[in-house]
Copies of this chain bind each other. A is one copy, B any other.
Amino acid sequence: MAWSPRRSAGRRLQLPLLCLLLQGATAILFAVFVRYNRETDAALWHWGNHSNADNEFYFRYPSFQDVHAMIFVGFGFLMVFLQRYGFSSVGFTFLLAAFALQWSTLIQGFFHSFRGGYILVGMESMINADFSAAAVLISFGAILGKTGPVQLLLMALLEVVLFGLNEFVLLSLLEVKDAGGSMTIHTFGAYFGLILSRVLYRPHLEKSKHRQGSTYHSDLFAMIGEASRGVVGTIFLWIFWPSFNSAPTALGDGQHRTALNTYYSLAASTLSTFALSALVGGDGRLDMPILESKLKVQDTCGVHNLHGMPGVLGALLGSLVAGLATSEAYGDGLESVFPLIAEGQRSATSQAMHQLFALFVTLTFASVGGGLGAFPLVPSTLEGSP
């Protein structure tokens, strides 16, 4: 194809100009709308008045940092897996995350901490912004290698808005519990990305499919490759997942319980995975080849296995647990876990139905969003953007 030099130069400038535009707009919006939350503000602070709000920072900070490590180191290295896309995908990961978390601070702040004309930010804003970035990176994993950084930034621009809207509908309007972000992060991020991937489906990608994980040429890659097969990859989960799951939970014994449950669940699933892998035999993988051949979805990073199905499963189990919640089982704790049931505003069955409906809402937002997000990307993709 014959490209004019001018057009090529224009293309080369797209990414930096979009970055500058987005960063400039974000900076202006921050300057106008964002203020320190009460417990962060120097103007409201007294020495000696060392309140629970201060302690909360110290109690939350380590979990925040673990979430941060999972998102930046974990996703960064996951993206390095597929040699084809090389190291640049690590760069895009940072770029996407850096934009998503600023943009998400504005969107989530608008929905959750908009007081007196200002968005108030603090520790929880950082944790929530990181979770929003996690959903964007999950979607990124589903379309890795199919589109360029400009398209990815535009995708993030849209996805963060829908993420915030979905989260607001679920947590504030439907008042459902979303333990571990099953629905808001994993289900939403995965199906947004998978629908995008379906729309961007390109048959000729199949020909180079064998390159997606085969020609590792160093031990490092071989090792990371092994990791992706379910054994060594657990390192990150072992160390950081208890924090990831407990970070958005209310302070106190809820976080303690979440950490404990994640810890023993990881231990139990390690033995079970070993057993199942060895029983199924061969290369020890439990494959889901069905996606690409039947549904024309190319899921290069296994996003459906890692986030989509587990997210839906978690949502269904959450609904089941809500349906079985009784004041006998939870005692006074019911107030903190399912306050509407405790206050008699909802029956356990009604809460369970709300939870199921929330899953439906999430899948709808993700599908419509993924579909909408895809259309502007298709033309530029067909032109062969990198």
Q: Is the CB of A15 within 8 A of B98?
A: no
Whole-angstrom CA separation of A243 from B57 in the bound complex:
12
Q: Nearest Cβ in chain B — how far from A242, in angstroms?
A: 8
- Choose from B58, B98, B234, B239 the contact partner of A58 (Cβ within 8 Å): B58
Q: Chain A 71-96 against B: per-residue CB contact (8 Å), 1 yes, 0 no? A: 01100100010000001001100110
Q: Does A32 contact B (CB under 8 A)?
A: no
Q: Is the CB of B19 within 8 A of A253?
A: no
Q: Is the CB of B91 within 8 A of A16?
A: no
Q: Is the CB of A54 within 8 A of B231?
A: no
Q: Is the CB of A276 within 8 A of B335?
A: no
Whole-angstrom CA separation of A47 from B252 in the bound complex:
8
- The segment from A20-28, A311-319, A344-352, A358-366 found at the interface with B is A20-28
The chain B residue with its CB closest to the CB of A20 is B275
- The segment from A108-116, A169-177, A193-201, A260-268 found at the interface with B is A260-268
- The segment from A60-68, A181-189, A296-304 found at the interface with B is A60-68
Whole-angstrom CA separation of A270 from B93 in the bound complex:
11
Q: How many A residues face the partner with a CB closer than 8 A? A: 105
Q: Is the CB of A223 within 8 A of B40?
A: no
Q: Is the CB of B270 within 8 A of A98?
A: yes
- List chain B residues, Cβ under 8 A from A190: none
- List chain B residues, Cβ under 8 A from A295: none
Whole-angstrom CA separation of A11 from B20 in the bound complex:
56
- The segment from A135-143, A206-214, A324-332 found at the interface with B is A324-332
Q: Does A1 contact B (CB under 8 A)?
A: no
- Choose from B90, B123, B279 the contact partner of A232 (Cβ within 8 Å): B90
Chain A residues numbered 256-297 whose CB sits less than 8 Å from any CB in chain B: 256-257, 259-260, 263-264, 266-268, 270-272, 274-279, 281
Whole-angstrom CA separation of A102 from B30 in the bound complex:
44
- List chain B residues, Cβ under 8 A from A264: 30, 102, 105
Q: Does A8 contact B (CB under 8 A)?
A: no
Given contacts A20-B275, A87-B226, A332-B46, contact A243 B73 (CB under 8 A): no
Q: Nearest Cβ in chain B — how far from A190, in angstroms?
A: 24
The chain B residue with its CB closest to the CB of A257 is B40
Q: Is the CB of A253 within 8 A of B39?
A: yes
Q: Is the CB of A279 within 8 A of B13?
A: yes
Whole-angstrom CA separation of A272 from B332 in the bound complex:
50
Q: Is the CB of A330 within 8 A of B270?
A: no
Q: Chain A 97-136 against B: per-residue CB contact (8 Å), 1 yes, 0 no? A: 1110110010000000000000001110110000000000
- List chain B residues, Cβ under 8 A from A268: 23, 26-27, 98, 102
Q: Does A2 contact B (CB under 8 A)?
A: no
Whole-angstrom CA separation of A142 from B255 in the bound complex:
37
- List chain B residues, Cβ under 8 A from A272: 19-20, 23
- Choose from B221, B232, B330 the contact partner of A219 (Cβ within 8 Å): B221
Q: Is the CB of A332 within 8 A of B23?
A: no
Whole-angstrom CA separation of A217 from B232 in the bound complex:
21
Q: Does A385 contact B (CB under 8 A)?
A: no
- List chain B residues, Cβ under 8 A from A99: 267, 271
Q: Is the CB of B335 within 8 A of A260?
A: no
Q: Nearest Cβ in chain B — how far from A261, in angstroms?
A: 10
Q: Does A382 contact B (CB under 8 A)?
A: no
Q: Is the CB of B267 within 8 A of A102?
A: yes
- Choose from B15, B243, B274, B332 the contact partner of A45 (Cβ within 8 Å): B332
Given contacts A23-B268, A73-B239, 16 further A-B contacts (CB under 8 A): A12-B281, A19-B275, A26-B268, A41-B253, A42-B254, A42-B333, A47-B336, A61-B62, A65-B242, A68-B239, A87-B223, A91-B274, A98-B266, A121-B260, A125-B260, A126-B263
